[in-house]
Each structure stands twice: as structure tokens, then as C-alpha cells.
Amino acid sequence: MSSVAIIGAGAAGYFAAIQLVEQGFTGEIKLYEKSKALAKVKVSGGGRCNVTHACFDPKELTQYYPRGNKEMLGPFHHFQPGDMIGWLADHGVELKVEDDGRMFPTSDSSQTIIDCFESALPAGTLVSKGVKHLAATDNGWQLNFDDGESAVVDRVIVTAGSSPQFSSILKSMGIAMVDAVPSLFTFHIEDDALRALSGLAIEAEVRLKGAEWTTDGPMLLTHWGVSGPAVLKMSAWGARWLAERNYHAEVVINSMPRYHKESLLETLQGIRINAARKLVRNVGPSSVPNRWWQFVIKDNTAIDKMWADVKNVELEEMLAVLLELSLPISGKATFKEEFVTAGGVDLKSVNFKNMESKTHPRMHFAGEVLNIDALTGGFNFQAAWTTAFLAAKGIVES
Ligand SMILES: Cc1cc2nc3c(=O)[nH]c(=O)nc-3n(C[C@H](O)[C@H](O)[C@H](O)COP(=O)(O)OP(=O)(O)OC[C@H]3O[C@@H](n4cnc5c(N)ncnc54)[C@H](O)[C@@H]3O)c2cc1C
């Protein structure tokens, strides 16, 4: 009888075990967990579990993955959000879509997903044991557990997430690993005037000075700096770039992303005529909140003038800070709704048809242990579902 050991009962490991059963694997399956199964699923999405995202085109979907975008294209043709939605529906879980495309169980509770997974996994599959060592045998793998016991299996699926301990085990076995750095965090900015805006949201385009990416969407001002989708997306794209700079960089904010320089200049000139007898600090472009306007022009010599008295050079300065306000980042803060790690098993060493290692036969990978991570919105779980599905399929077909 053939046997498979799955190491780590998180989203990827649990789903891989269920997929093995449902795709017809008849051998022995053991799912080893060193602490609590599905712990991250439980706390995910603020306790609601953002299971996936309503994006059904594989090519479009890959654009949400700063790491893994090329490699996940093929896998998404085999198992993508539509398949996960269908699988959950077949198992009695209905999802709902929020305006931004994020999908949650209609119960708004991650427990619904946990209950579903628990009932789909055959009794006796989950074993509470940590794997502390792995060694290749002639035709498979020997696992040594932290209780001193061991087991020999034909294949392993490694789904240990971003565990530094397991990353060291993999590294010591000669598996190519990319060092882990956090992704999906918010930017810490030391600025009392900015802190006073806490709670305000603006539409913005964001970039990092000296880097190539631009992200957009709502940006939230918080008591520690800036957050919101525009910033979280940038933290994912710039995860490694920012880590290399110890999270010290300049974020450049365009708070009027729909305007070109010329059209914004015309808008400001229009305000100078139409609000001539009003104070500059009280009247700004209608598309930015007045508190943000007062913040960006706080150093402009025209701030306490009537609009009629504004000089062209002051107008140019207003334009510059609306389109490119540079603020110093002095650290990062964790985004509590979702937190992932960039880094893990080097994707070049993995066959994405069956998630098998190219260097260590009969060892498969799924989930966050791989150097794949995505923007916030349900994409990280989708990567776990897709890679788990393919690892199981690869094993069944082998
Ligand atoms: C607070 C929070 C909220 C999140 N919310 C969302 C969300 O709403 N939507 C989304 O898409 N993503 C979300 N994420 C990201 C998502 O949770 C991860 O991408 C996903 O859990 C990865 O699944 P995984 O199975 O690969 O790893 P994990 O869920 O980390 O599971 C790995 C498992 O392996 C076990 N393990 C490790 N080492 C060993 C060992 N030696 N032996 C045995 N077991 C071991 C661990 O204990 C763990 O249970 C969130 C993350 C966090 C932290």
C-alpha cells in the first residue's frame, strides 16, 4: 500500500489531504500538525476568512502575485477561484462577494470553513505530531517526529507554511530556499501633522522613491502612518526591496491620480479665479478632503493668503505636493487582517504540474512554504488551494 505524509495542517495541508481522498488516492494518508490545525484559517480575514477572490481569468489572477505570477499561470488553469467556490458549494458552504471582489462564507465566520474541512477529512488522518527531521530513503522518505517516533512513507507533501524551523530543515537538505521577509504591512511615518489626520481616507497612487512599482486605491491615514489597499499592495510588491533598506525609504503619494499636470494646473488656476476672496487653506480641489489639502500645503507660503493673491510659483508648489508628496518611511507595522511572508522554496526548483521538487523526488510542496505570496484579498488562500490540489493530483496520477 502506498503512503503519503503531509507536514503541516494549515490551509494547504488540510486541503491537500482532502484532495488526495477525493481524487481517489487509496493508500494511507497522514496529516501531521505540530500545534493547532487550521489556526490561521480561524483568525483569517478578521475571523471571517477571505477564502478567495472573484477573479476567474488565470492571467488576470496572476497579476495579484508579486512572487509566483509566472509560475501560477499554469496551475490556475487547473484550479482557480471558480473551482474553489464550486468545491465549497458541493460541501455545503455558500460564499458571498464583497464590492471589492473578496469572497467570504455567507456566515461571516471562518468556523464555517473549518467545520467543512473537518467533516471532509476522514477520521484518523490528522495526527498531532511535529516533524523534526526528514531523510530520503531508496523509494521515499523517513520522518522523525518530536516525540522520538519515526515513519517511512512513499511521498511527502510539505505544507509547513512560513515556519522558520521547517525552512532550516529544508535548507539543510539542500533544497533551494529564498530568505523570508514579511509582506503585507503598513508604513510607519513619524509626523505629528500626519498623525492628526488619523481616520482620514484618500484615493491615491503610491510609489517608492527609487523603485519601479506604482499602486493605487484608497489610502488610510492612521496614528502610526499610512495604511489601506494602496499601501498594502505596495508593501507586497516592495517586500524585499524595503527589507533590504531596513524599512527606511520615501513613499511618494499622488493624491490626485486622475489628473495630469496640465489639467491640475488649470483646476488650481480656476480656483484662484472662482474663490478669489476665500482663504487658500479653506478651499482646495474638490477631489481631496480639506484636511488633506491643508496638510499637503502646510509649508506653502500662500496657505494664509486669499486665492486672488496666490503667485504662480506658489501654484506650482501646490501642484507638486498634490502630485508627488514625499514622506519618509521609518519602519513597518503589521496588518492584522492578513499577514504573509515572502520567501520560501525557490520556485525554479519546483515542477508546477505536480508541485514536486525537481531536486528531491517524491517531495511535493503547497501553500506558503513556497516563495509565492499575493496581495491582500483572498489570493494567498487561493494559492494554497491551487497548489494543494495540484500536489494531490500529481500524487494520484503517479
Ligand atoms: C492574521 C492573518 C489573517 C489572514 N487572512 C487571510 C485571508 O483572509 N485571506 C487570505 O487569502 N489569506 C489570509 N492570510 C494568509 C493565509 O493565512 C496564509 O497564506 C495561509 O494560511 C497559508 O497556508 P499554509 O497552509 O501554507 O500555511 P499555514 O496556514 O501557516 O499552515 C502551516 C502549518 O504547518 C504547521 N507546521 C509547521 N512546521 C511543522 C512541523 N515541523 N511539523 C508539523 N507541522 C508543522 C504549522 O503549525 C501550521 O499549522 C492571513 C494570515 C494571517 C496571519
* Final residue before a domain boundary, out of 334, 359, 376: 334
DSSP notation for 167-202: HHHHHHTT--EEEEEEESEEEE---HHHHTTTT-EE
Per-residue pLDDT at 336: 77
Residues 174 and 323 in one domain: no
Pairing of strands 52-53, 102-105: antiparallel
CA of 335 relative to ligand 1 center, distance in Å? 15
My answer on whether 230 and 315 are in the same domain is yes
Compute the distance between CA of residue 308 and CA of residue 156 in angstroms, rounded to an integer.
74
pLDDT value of position 338 = 73
Are residue 152 and residue 212 in the same domain, yes or no? no
Residues 313, 357 within the same domain: no
Do 43 and 103 lie in a common domain?
Answer: yes
Q: Can you give the pLDDT at residue 74?
A: 98
Name the residue with the closest Cα to ligand 1, atom 5.
44
- Contact residues of ligand 1, CB 6 A cut-off: 7-13, 32-35, 39-40, 43-45, 49-50, 130-131, 159-161, 163, 166, 337-340, 367-369, 378-381, 384
pLDDT tens digits for range 272-330: 999 999 999 999 999 999 999 999 999 999 999 999 999 999 999 999 999 999 999 99
Q: Which atom of ligand 1 is nearest to the CA of 52?
A: 11
Q: Please tell me whether residues 37 and 140 are part of one structural domain.
A: yes
Question: Are β-strands 249-254 and 325-329 bridged in parallel, bridged antiparallel, or unpaired?
Answer: antiparallel
* Span from the CA of 41 to the centroid of ligand 1 (angstroms): 7
Q: What is the pLDDT of residue 337?
A: 75
**In the chain, how many domains are there?**
2
Flag residues of the chain having pLDDT under 50: none
Range of the domain at 390: 3-182+338-397
pLDDT of residue 294: 97
Final residue in a domain of this structure, among 334, 361, 379: 334
- Say if residues 30 and 357 touch (Cβ distance below 8 Å): no
Do 164 and 208 reside in the same domain of the chain?
no
Same domain, 249 and 154: no
33 with 172, same domain: the answer is: yes
